[in-house]
Amino acid sequence: MIRFSSEAASELEDAIDWYLSRSIRVAGRFHQTFSSVLLNIEADPDRFARIHLDFQFARIIGFPFICIFRKKPDHLQILAIAHTSRKERYWIDRE
């Protein structure tokens, strides 16, 4: 099971809104690519590299975003949908 932090959910919504304001087609591609990333994370979270301690990340291919997550005992927690030009590790204190 995957759960989003409120901040990650907001970041995802902001990214989709930004793409929607420019191109419905690109927004759809972003959403589809992100959905595939989630399926890959859920299917095999151990295949993704660690970025810090128990935090892992998955690239959203074709877009300047990464999905930061960590494994919890009963779920996978999405902590951030981070734009790659943002300050590094701004999400580190998120629960």
Among the CATH numbers 1.20.1250.20, 3.40.470.10, 3.30.2310.20, 3.30.420.40, which is that of 2-83? 3.30.2310.20
Q: What is the pLDDT of residue 39?
A: 97
Q: What is the pLDDT of residue 52?
A: 85
Mean pLDDT of 78-92: 85
- Which helix (DSSP H) or strand (DSSP E) does residue 56 occupy? strand 55-60
In terms of Cα–Cα distance, which of 22, 26, 86, 21 is closest to 68?
86
**Phi (first) and psi of residue 22, to 5 degrees:** -110, -40
Global pTM value:
0.90
55-78 CB burial, b ≥16 within 10 A, e <16? bbbbebeebebbbbbbeeeeebbb
In tens, the pLDDT along 20-45 reads 999 999 999 999 999 999 999 999 99
Q: Are 19 and 30 in contact (CB under 8 A)?
A: yes
Q: Are 37 and 60 in contact (CB under 8 A)?
A: yes
Q: What is the pLDDT of residue 15?
A: 97
